[in-house]
Amino acid sequence: MPSLLASEQVTPLDMIQVRRGAPGEEEAVGVFVNVATGGFVAEVTPETPALLKHSLGGAAYVVTGLLKMSQAQGHPMRVEGSGLEPTEGRLLGLCVGNGRYAGGGFDVCPEARPDNGLMEVTMAAAGPEGARVTRPLWEWLAGDSNDGEHVRQARTSRLVVSSEMSVQFNLDGEPVRGQRFIFEVIPDALAFVLPAAGTRPA
């Protein structure tokens, strides 16, 4: 059986470029091919001990999240993009996905595709000031991420996220902080050799 590389079945896949800074002062901070997470969810990831991840796998993020839950008050953000109605409020988390899964195997962008020229945006909103915020977060991480009162999804090719406070994003695990981020899809940026559906490489 010929090798997969020899088959030359090339599939172009998108990347997402990220810039940071005020209008006219933007700087490139990186690119990613899977998922960028922001807000409280992004802060949980680097604070999860490696030993705990080795022992519990994806459940380690849940344990760390529970320990930090008292700090989960949401981050004030404004989210706007091509074809999107601007959203402003306190968000527990924001995922920008070219792929579906964030750290620990959480399906945070279930409709994302890496080859359609769009990124999927999933926003988990905090409740009113002083209200418990645990329910929307765990609904999201448990996979109940359909549009609703607390969790919204949308698709766009360009996204701007801004906040009056510093917000952390993890770009495929690489942490960056800032008050304004611009996400843009780079269509067909990577050429991958993929097996045909239902086949396995030799």
Residues designated as active site: 174
Between the CA of residue 75 and those of 47, 91, 140, 163, 174, what are the distances in Å?
18, 5, 16, 8, 20
CB 84 within 8 A of CB 122: no
Burial code of 79-105, b = ≥16 C-beta within 10 A, e = fewer? bebeeeeebeebbbbbbbbbbbbbbbe
Between the CA of residue 174 and those of 13, 30, 141, 168, what are the distances in Å?
21, 9, 20, 10
The backbone torsions φ and ψ at residue 149, rounded to the nearest 5 degrees and listed phi first, read -65, -40
